[in-house]
Amino acid sequence: MSGQANIRVSYLPRQELLLHPEAWWQGVLGVVPFGQDPDFPAPPAIPIAPVGLPELGTGHCTCEVWRASEPLRSGHSGAVHYRAGAQVLFGRLVLAESAPVKSGPEGPAVLQQATAQAYAQIFAALDGLGYPHLLRIWNYFAEINRAASQGERYHEFNTARRQAFLRARRVIEGQVPAACALGSASGSPLVIYFLASATAARSLENPRQVSAFRYPAEYGPDSPTFSRAVLAAPMSGNCLLTSGTASILGHSTVHAGNAAAQIRESISNVTELVAEANRVSGARRFSIEELQYKVYVRHTTDLDEIRRELALLLPASCPVTYLQADICRRDLLVEIEAVGSAAPDASADSR
């Protein structure tokens, strides 16, 4: 046994990261710099996921830093740059869509091709390296709401993702990874980063919501392939990773046009996931007050209202990073995701 490979995330100002000595980087799995400057001076062994979304409401740029408490090594597998310990792997990949994106129903499905390629490379890397269990995957691509051959580009993405799971002999319901899919600026490449594990995690659903993999056809011909959250425990380290969580009840968007009400509903959904995680672990491991958050805001003009509302729902001590992004349904104004780490609790890890 290699012991606990606790995954930890922290949100650090870019300037602070640059001050760390070489030795500090040994425990870093990967870095996700926000803001639009993709050049990031980390040691070349560290995978950098250049998500490139504008950061809101702060004078500096934040970096999401993933760390693990086990010896790490880095490598490349196809387009995937990864860093991994015995239990967990962080990987990232950037793929340009191969031809200019044309609008309208006749546009070529270049996003489908890029998505198919990206996921094929990711699963090939995970199978080859011995981390077959995808825990959480972050997807960013240009113009997610733009009309395309299958309704919107997000629907094309869903079709290609689902097919890629099947081709890689993965299930497409139940034990599927947590995820998010957000729209970046026009011309941005497909940027994906992910956490995977050598051992299976526990996928969670939200009792207030229809599982995304069972969404009816009105949201696109192929359902999205993700679970509402993943509980990575015990070997991958007592970590709760929620999916992007929005103002959806059942399968329907609620509070269209009202950003404050949407963020309230989203927090109610995260609260439900925390309760599920605690129920499944058989211990009160996680609380809404102790998670770390990222909030995706569609219209920067809604930022102040969303911050005011969130200040009523979360203690000021919660780290919250605000990013501008398009959300996958046109009527969604905001989406939130959370990560929680809990202290190892031997008594609760009987499964």
Give the count of residues interacting with ligand 3EB (CB under 6 A): 12
* 280 makes contact with ligand 3EB (CB under 6 A): no
* 328 makes contact with ligand 3EB (CB under 6 A): yes
Which of 131, 157 has the CB closer to ligand 3EB? Answer: 157
Minimum Å gap between C-beta 147 and ligand 3EB is 18
Ramachandran bin of 212, using left for φ above 0, alpha for ψ from -120 to 50, beta for the remaining angles: alpha
Give residues 211-230 in contact with ligand 3EB (rule: CB under 6 A): 212, 224, 226
Minimum Å gap between C-beta 301 and ligand 3EB is 21
Q: Which stretch binds ligand 3EB (CB under 6 A): 96-104, 113-121, 244-252, 287-295?
A: 244-252
Which of 86, 205 has the CB closer to ligand 3EB? Answer: 205
DSSP class of 260? H
Two tokens at 98? 């191969």
CA 165, 171, 176 angle in degrees (round to 5)? 85
Say how far apart CA 252 and CA 273 lie, in whole Å.
18
Q: Applying CB under 6 A, which of residues 17, 84, 179, 325 lies at the interface with ligand 3EB?
A: 179
Minimum Å gap between C-beta 218 and ligand 3EB is 12
Two tokens at 55? 């950061």
Say how far apart CA 319 and CA 289 lie, in whole Å.
10
Q: Which stretch binds ligand 3EB (CB under 6 A): 84-92, 164-172, 189-197, 238-246?
A: 238-246
Distances (CA, A) of 339 to 16, 47, 106, 275, 318: 21, 20, 40, 14, 11
Minimum Å gap between C-beta 212 and ligand 3EB is 5
**Of residues 3, 1, 7, 99, the one with CA closest to residue 342:** 7
Q: Applying CB under 6 A, which of residues 243, 281, 321, 341 lies at the interface with ligand 3EB?
A: 243
Q: Which residues neighbour 345 within 8 Å (Cβ) at sequence distance 6 or greater? A: 238, 281, 283, 285
Q: Which stretch binds ligand 3EB (CB under 6 A): 69-77, 174-182, 291-299, 304-312?
A: 174-182
Cβ of 7: how many Cβ atoms within 10 Å?
26
Minimum Å gap between C-beta 19 and ligand 3EB is 34
Give residues 129-168 in contact with ligand 3EB (rule: CB under 6 A): 139
* 244 makes contact with ligand 3EB (CB under 6 A): yes
Nearest-10 Cα torsion for 97, 56, 335, 8? 90
* 88 makes contact with ligand 3EB (CB under 6 A): no
Which of 90, 119 has the CB closer to ligand 3EB? Answer: 119
* 184 makes contact with ligand 3EB (CB under 6 A): no
Distances (CA, A) of 202 to 156, 212, 221, 241, 281: 28, 16, 27, 11, 10
Minimum Å gap between C-beta 219 and ligand 3EB is 7
Q: Phi and psi at residue 344, in whole multiples of 5°?
A: -55, 140
Residues that bind ligand 3EB in the complex, under the rule CB under 6 A? 139, 179-181, 212, 224, 226, 243-244, 246, 248, 328
